[in-house]
Structure 1
């Protein structure tokens, strides 16, 4: 039985968007919400860029975006696309010819900013290249680079201006019989971002790519993104996401998946439920959780793990997780399996034992998938 039928207050009804293809990946409709990041290596250095894409793939990235600021970058893109296991989005600004070159190089998607790519004729040429080479397009509206006539009309970046920009450029694609597109309306201001996406969600059935642009450092940027994107995702809005952080791109993937996991929209990896610790803790909760998080990064299967310092909340939390450990004093605690107390375990042995139990659980789940 679907858990949402038992607990309807957990249900999120996703907005009904049309489905498009990005290489072999589906975006929109009933497809899983995809998580993407962007490389920050010089794109013309194909080896370094491919190495970073590998790290992003290992972290779970569904899509990777690569900036293409010059001809050397689009020249390297062919090798990068060939080496990548996930669809590559070519990020295009100012130079429409880079979009055409990227399409020829095998990019699965072209990200264009309508405010700076140039005239309608130039956009038309990029659209034709996308049609010729099987690319989809992301219309990327940004609060910091809106068209001059919209800024004159509205006086400043605002939700109405961003939605109008997006729909104007979607109309250009539609006029050229091109519907394989998704749209983003990003701003660094959380309020502006959320309001723009809410307006856009009502105005189109196109898939939406979510993001709070230039969100900032890992901690504060993650919080801003979680507030803005979390509100939208909870309301059912969003088909693909990027958490824009001034941090290692791999962290963007981790935060993105954690965001989706908290809303039950994706379930990749180990979800650790842990207490903040207090004087009642029977072991060092913070250090243990930090170690387990690192040791279990390689697990891709969906597993819930509770790590609670004492018996006040430990048994109750463990009852709702696949595996759990609750501190009980005297340098030992109770290991829970399938929500039930299973065996006692010493604090000294618990990290290695828990890792072993999680890996066994992951192996069991992989077997079920193959069966």
Structure 2
């Protein structure tokens, strides 16, 4: 059960107040390079990004925001640090939200109040971001990683508990983050400005979770979730899934970003998978595939990866299964809208629980994608199953006697 927060409008997207959890990302281009920035935002739009943030480190980046805004379809957020004049120019350019960490603004509260007045006049939203790294916490990591032993006066030894020390420091840091966020909010409220979204990020999962939980107990402003600097595709996806999953399962969070050291388009599918696994959003492909084992007689990994890649732009909810053995394959495939249960050199195609046909291994891709396309709107169907069908072949034949054979080359076109 989600906690009911205030509702804030970011362009044409509603955040909080019972609206679906919105998925965000951030560009990696130099914002002043309008062509590259717009192209990347278009790619983000294609995979389902609903709000996009761009970095505005210098005035050259701020003055082109209006031009970028005209060419995209999703709300545009300006990420501002230090210089309040960049925020004021971004607001003049017509952005939909400004992201500020008041703690690193030159002239502090005075600058924030300038920005708030401008945002209020244009009726746009503001994200107040507080990061653990900006709360100048003492670095006690080295001390906490080893057990401290002290000799008591009675001659006995006292051993410290590193885990308990880390927990206490985490709680202290989280409380400082929340206190700062509430202080910044109070400055805005004194100017009768309430179009506020709040984030309390940390690269340490449990610190972020603790801060978000504490803030949620004490405020009804909508919350932007994120584990900052989470890492590369695998480590970042895992840390984000754990941290954001804990919070979302508790009903905390109104918008989110999965921060990865990867192309921003990679962040969006991870975000939707988190939301779909918690039954908070129903968008795009719910994909099931087996992990491969000694029972499998097709290269299920290659087939599954290729099918998932080709379905990445599908936004219509649909359940697809790619299975490689006779034990779990038929059951999982029957439960899907479209399923493949592969076997030695051939596979059975299921559609809505019914067996449609049996196809040879070199037709797995074509058969699965054709059936999926038949259940999609025309525009999406053409993206994944073009006229003339799928000529490529994914995977290799595999048996317990022969092992993995050489790859089957794509058919000539």
**Is TM (by shorter chain) over 0.5?**
yes
User: Which residue does 2:197 correspond to in 1?
Assistant: 182
What are the residue-to-residue correspondences of 1:4-15 with 2, within 5 Å?
Answer: 13-15=1-3
Cα deviation 1:311-362 (Å, max 9, x = unaligned) = 2111221232111111243x22221111233322222211111111111111
Runs of 4+ aligned residues of structure 1 deviating over 4 Å after TM superposition are: 154-157, 364-367
- Conservation of the 8 A alpha-carbon contact between 2:23 and 2:257: yes
* SS of residue matched to 1:101: helix
Query: Which structure has the larger Rg?
Result: 2
User: Which residue does 1:10 correspond to in 2?
Assistant: none
Alignment equivalent of 2:286, drawn from 271, 279, 282:
271
> 1:266, 1:155 → 2: CA distance?
35
- Conservation of the 8 A alpha-carbon contact between 1:324 and 1:337: yes
User: Which residue does 2:224 correspond to in 1?
Assistant: 209
Distance 1:111 1:229, change over 3 A: same
* SS of residue matched to 1:115: helix
User: Which residue does 2:111 correspond to in 1?
Assistant: 122
**Offset at residue 155 of structure 1 (A):** 8.3
Q: TM-score, normalised by structure 1?
A: 0.90
Kindly tell me the number of residue pairs found equivalent between the two proteins. 350
- Conservation of the 8 A alpha-carbon contact between 1:318 and 1:340: no
- Conservation of the 8 A alpha-carbon contact between 1:127 and 1:178: yes
* SS of residue matched to 2:306: helix
Cα deviation 1:254-313 (Å, max 9, x = unaligned) = 211222122222222212100011122132100101111122223221111111111211
User: Which residue does 1:4 correspond to in 2?
Assistant: none
User: Which residue does 2:266 correspond to in 1?
Assistant: 251
User: Which residue does 1:349 correspond to in 2?
Assistant: 363
Structure 1: gaps (5+ residues): 1-12, 149-153
Cα deviation 1:192-244 (Å, max 9, x = unaligned) = 00000010111111110000001111111111111111111111111110111
Does the alignment pair 1:109 with 2:123?
Answer: no
User: Which residue does 2:327 correspond to in 1?
Assistant: 312
- Conservation of the 8 A alpha-carbon contact between 2:30 and 2:37: yes
> 2:104, 2:282 → 1: CA distance?
37
Instruction: Tell me how large the CA RMSD over aligned residues is.
Output: 2.0
- Conservation of the 8 A alpha-carbon contact between 1:282 and 1:332: no
Structure 2: gaps (5+ residues): 138-167, 382-413
User: Which residue does 2:235 correspond to in 1?
Assistant: 220
